[in-house]
Amino acid sequence: MNEKELLNLKKKIDAAESSEQQLKGRKKELLAQLQEDFNCSTNKEAKIKKKELETELDKVKSKLETKLDEIKAKYNGSTD
């Protein structure tokens, strides 16, 4: 390798190190937000919480659909 190639390689390494530091900082911010919003301190906890919320959402959706069907049946029954 000549000097020019080594300098280019050094620039690439410096850029990669800088990018790594930015990503680490972003990860730290996101984990702090996860802790604040959902009381999760790890990605694993967040996945578990996500699954719990999805299950809860499905239950609410099901109840809502049932109530909507009841309202439709009542409304349609009173107009006949």
Mean pLDDT of 62-78: 91
Which structure tokens are listed for 74? Answer: 């009542």
Residue 48 has pLDDT above 70, yes or no: yes
Which structure tokens are listed for 54? Answer: 């999805």
Domain extents for the chain? 1-41
What pLDDT, on the 0 to 100 scale, is given for residue 61?
A: 98
Mean pLDDT of 53-73: 96
Which structure tokens are listed for 12? Answer: 């690439």
What pLDDT, on the 0 to 100 scale, is given for residue 78?
A: 60
Percent with pLDDT over 70 in the chain: 96
Residue 57 confidence class, pLDDT cut points 50, 70, 90: very high
Residue 31 has pLDDT above 80, yes or no: yes
- Contact between 31 and 41 under an 8 Å Cβ cutoff? The reply is yes
Amino acid in position 66: T
